[in-house]
Amino acid sequence: MKTLSFILMLLTPLMFIFGQVDQPKTPAHEFVGAKTCFMCHHTDKQGKQFDIWQHSKHAHAYELLKTDEANKIAKERGFDKPAIEVDSCLQCHASGYNVDAKFLGPKFQVADGVQCETCHGPGGDYKSLSVMKNKDEAVKKGLVFYADPKQLCVKCHNSNSPTKKIFDFEKYWAQIKHQIPKK
């Protein structure tokens, strides 16, 4: 099993570049948006998870694609349109950018960047408090957890990224880790 994980870790950046790890246009659950997660995940009891995200670079990743620097990089990569319109840029800078609108809830905004559902899966079926109180039920309804979060992070933070060549997982994970405090 460790060999398979290692092979997947090596292949994932390549698959991502060639569109194999991209978000499906027809997800199994509706994207509800970070503002929906705020309802519960901004409290001290929840470890101020929303605040951690909101003050992270992930929350502003989409905005980076509007910069002259992003457009320069897109042009250098052979694209003849702004970075904000390039799928291979959006796949690391935004959630739900290519999802059919019928799977996007009213509070969902692509402009919220790399948001909760980028990592934890579309929350349409697990967002309610009654479901979230039961971790197994939430997982059945689409909530995603990672035994090794680095596996997810390296899908974007890898040597194929035009702006990130060295990714110090431990350093950056410490900045965005958002666990529920132990009682």
Query: Rounded to an integer, what is the distance from CA 181 to the centroid of its chain?
Result: 22
pTM: 0.79
pLDDT band with cut points at 50, 70 and 90 for residue 150? very high
When pLDDT is averaged across residues 90-107 and rounded to a whole number, the result is 94
Query: 94 versus 183: which is more confidently predicted?
Result: 94
Range in 23-27, 80-84, 102-106, 120-124 the model is least confident about? 23-27
- Asked if pLDDT for residue 1 goes beyond 70, the answer is no
pLDDT at 25: 66
- Asked if pLDDT for residue 156 goes beyond 80, the answer is yes
pLDDT band with cut points at 50, 70 and 90 for residue 176? confident
- Ramachandran area for residue 151 (φ above 0: left; ψ -120 to 50: alpha; else beta): alpha
Composition of the chain by helix, strand, coil, percent to 5: 50, 0, 50
Q: Which amino acid is at 65?
A: L
Cβ neighbours around 28 below 10 Å, total: 12
Q: Domains in the chain, please, with CATH?
A: 2-176 (1.10.1130)
